[in-house]
Chains A and B, each alone.
Chain A
Amino acid sequence: MLLEARSLTKTFGAFKAVNDVSLRINKGDIIGLIGPNGAGKSTFFNCLTGDLVPSSGQVFLNGQDVTHLGPEQRAQLGLARSFQVPLSFEGMSVIENVMIGAFLRSADPAVARAKAMEVLTLTGLSAMCDAPASSLGTPGRKRLEIARALATDPDVLLLDEAMAGLTATEVQQAIALVRDIHKLGITLVIVEHIMEVIISLAEQVIVFHQGHEIARGTPQEVTQNEHVIAAYLGKRAAATAARGFAEGGA
């Protein structure tokens, strides 16, 4: 077991953003977390990364209880993440951004630079390594997020809507990149809005709705699940769809 969440609950005041969700991720898995806006998947994600402390439940990384460890300690233990809205270090060049990640495993700037260059080549950013990070557009910034996280040599990489805001072509390129990363032996947890991405990448999908897990299975199974359709389209629309639009016009 690489990463495990045991009945995680996170409340904000009286509001239960995540309600008793468990998850077990083995080495080499690709897990997708989906759900409508406000379903709690980002909150759950942030409990896994250490950005939020769960109200109850536990998180284990490589068998170690990390529930109360911060993001920096989890990064040291092999967990890396990207941010939904890219948080590049704007005052630095592209390669320096990635070096910050690489410094986790070596204090030597020369070693960190070499590691960063290696990762930039993998992510297709090597041509612009000396450009300021602030000169990158959205696709570049999304790649930089991934490159920086990869430079920490993670066991598991959590991607938070890494493909939001990309064009169809860019999404295809990003999917190819994620496959390459998986081939390196890195376990992946993907939060994604775009169904196409989840269907083509994830082996197992967990669907969130109003803080609860409402379905789990292969992408094909969950997309046909009636609860999932209801959550995405609303109950009436789902019922209408189920009746084959027989009375839909009335």
Chain B
Amino acid sequence: MKRGFYPSLFLALALAYPLLLSTPFQQRLGALVLLYAIGASAWNVIGGYAGQVSVGHVMFFGCGAYASLACYVHFGWPPLLGLPLGILASIGIAALIGTPTLRLSGHYFSMATIAVAELLRLVVTNIELLGGAVGLSGPVMPRTWLDLSFTSALPYYYFFLAVLLFVLWVTWRMEQSRMGYYLRAIKDNERAARSLGVEAGRYKLYAFMLSAGLTSIAGSLYAIMFGFIDPESGLGMLTSVKMLIMAALGGAGLLFGPLVGAVILVPLEEISNTLLGGKGAGLTFMAYGAIIMVIARFYPSGILKLLQDRLRPSAGGRQSDVA
């Protein structure tokens, strides 16, 4: 089968989906899947390819979301104009906290990112300019089309699809370049990589900054679609965990892994929320905990990897014969 078959199939299905399943719920669900796929794919750059598991990525998501709505609230700009500012702020924050924390190995980096994200959430809760605990709202009625405020989810769907394709293209370019090879080497064995001249610290930082910038885009898109952001939705730890779980379930370090994870998890969450209503809030955390355990135990490299190995059994057999 041709290399590009599955991506082409996905693209065709993705383009047709909101036309085939056209109820508002289905279209909104589609847009959400794409939004989370963007976030999880962005996380994948540092967490998957470089193997540095950030559990505080919501800080970059929050950067994008707050930048978009703060620009609207304070300057009256369309929220979209805040998107590049969010990217710049995220890259700056990533450089600032990545420089000391990426020296930490293993779980210490994860813990440091949790700590910084929680700190940021508490700080933002106390900043009046950013809406404090109440949060910020976007335009109630669209002033021009530039506000990107629609009642239907359909325009968001195609907008997010375009952004997801962009994020995947950037990731693919990185994967094919020297940096992609270097990140995989660092993930496998940092000491060996350094002995071959790989400046591990520098490349991890690049990956962290790239990942942060892309994550910020997801945050801005969220703010544009929902028109509201508060410390919980914009900087709460659950969002960090979601990005991580989607990437890990689908296949961390694989280009389409996070997308597969989002396609599975987002509908599950939306459907269970609809069925359980407001009562299910705490259950979401429990479900994610259970999913983490199942992934760690049964699919440490993700579902996509499992499928790839199933679909190409001959390749696996041939390669193990060589030794």
Q: Is A226 an interface residue (CB 8 A)?
A: no
Closest to A90 in B: B188
> Do B192 and A83 touch (CB < 8 A)?
yes
Of A20-28, A93-101, A195-203, the one with at least 4 CB within 8 A of chain B: A93-101
CA distance A140 to B319 in the complex (A): 14
> Do A76 and B178 touch (CB < 8 A)?
no
CA distance A151 to B181 in the complex (A): 15
Q: Is B182 an interface residue (CB 8 A)?
A: yes
CB distance from B214 to the nearest CB of A (A): 22
> Do B187 and A91 touch (CB < 8 A)?
yes
> Do A149 and B322 touch (CB < 8 A)?
no
Contact status of A87 and B178, CB under 8 A, knowing A100-B198, A128-B322, A135-B319: no
Contact status of A92 and B197, CB under 8 A, knowing A103-B181, A135-B319, A140-B323: no
CB distance from A184 to the nearest CB of B (A): 18
Contact status of A87 and B192, CB under 8 A, knowing A135-B320, A135-B322: yes
Contact status of A112 and B197, CB under 8 A, knowing A87-B192, A91-B184, A92-B185: no
> Do B191 and A92 touch (CB < 8 A)?
no
Residues of B within 8 A of A140 (CB): 323
Q: Is A81 an interface residue (CB 8 A)?
A: yes
> Do A152 and B196 touch (CB < 8 A)?
yes
> Do A49 and B319 touch (CB < 8 A)?
no
Q: Is B314 an interface residue (CB 8 A)?
A: no
Contact status of A109 and B197, CB under 8 A, knowing A100-B181, A100-B182, A137-B323: no
Contact status of A76 and B197, CB under 8 A, knowing A91-B184, A92-B185: yes
Contact status of A109 and B177, CB under 8 A, knowing A89-B188, A91-B187: yes
Of A67-75, A167-175, A211-219, the one with at least 4 CB within 8 A of chain B: A67-75
CB distance from A133 to the nearest CB of B (A): 9
> Do B192 and A75 touch (CB < 8 A)?
no
- Interface size of B by Cβ–Cβ distance < 8 Å? 24
CA distance A89 to B191 in the complex (A): 11
Closest to B188 in A: A89
> Do A101 and B196 touch (CB < 8 A)?
yes
Q: Is A222 an interface residue (CB 8 A)?
A: no
Selected from B182, B192, B200, B319, the residue in CB contact (under 8 A) with A103 is: B182
Residues of B within 8 A of A104 (CB): 196-198
> Do A75 and B184 touch (CB < 8 A)?
no
Closest to B179 in A: A107
Residues of B within 8 A of A107 (CB): 177-178
Q: Is A65 an interface residue (CB 8 A)?
A: no
Q: Is A51 an interface residue (CB 8 A)?
A: yes
A136-168 vs B, Cβ < 8 Å mask (1 yes, 0 no): 110010000000110110000000000000000
Selected from A72, A108, A109, A135, the residue in CB contact (under 8 A) with B323 is: A135
Query: Interface residues of B: mostly helix, strand, loop or mixed?
Result: helix
Residues of A within 8 A of B194 (CB): 70-72, 75
Within 193-231 of B, Cβ neighbours of A (below 8 Å) are at: 193-200
> Do A91 and B195 touch (CB < 8 A)?
no
Q: Is B8 an interface residue (CB 8 A)?
A: no
Residues of A within 8 A of B195 (CB): 49, 51, 71-72, 75, 80-81, 83, 149
CA distance A83 to B191 in the complex (A): 10
A199-242 vs B, Cβ < 8 Å mask (1 yes, 0 no): 00000000000000000000000000000000000000000000
Q: Is B176 an interface residue (CB 8 A)?
A: yes
Residues of B within 8 A of A36 (CB): none
Residues of B within 8 A of A100 (CB): 181-182, 185, 193, 196, 198
Q: Is B274 an interface residue (CB 8 A)?
A: no
Q: Is B189 an interface residue (CB 8 A)?
A: yes
Selected from A51, A109, A112, A132, the residue in CB contact (under 8 A) with B191 is: A51
Residues of A within 8 A of B177 (CB): 107, 109
A119-133 vs B, Cβ < 8 Å mask (1 yes, 0 no): 000000000101110
Selected from B188, B197, B320, the residue in CB contact (under 8 A) with A75 is: B197
- Ordered by A's residue number, 29 sampled pairs between the chains whose C-beta atoms are within 8 Å are A71-B195, A72-B194, A75-B194, A89-B188, A89-B189, A90-B188, A90-B189, A91-B188, A92-B188, A96-B181, A96-B184, A100-B198, A101-B197, A103-B178, A103-B182, A104-B197, A104-B198, A107-B177, A107-B178, A109-B177, A109-B178, A130-B319, A132-B319, A137-B323, A148-B196, A149-B195, A149-B196, A151-B196, A152-B197
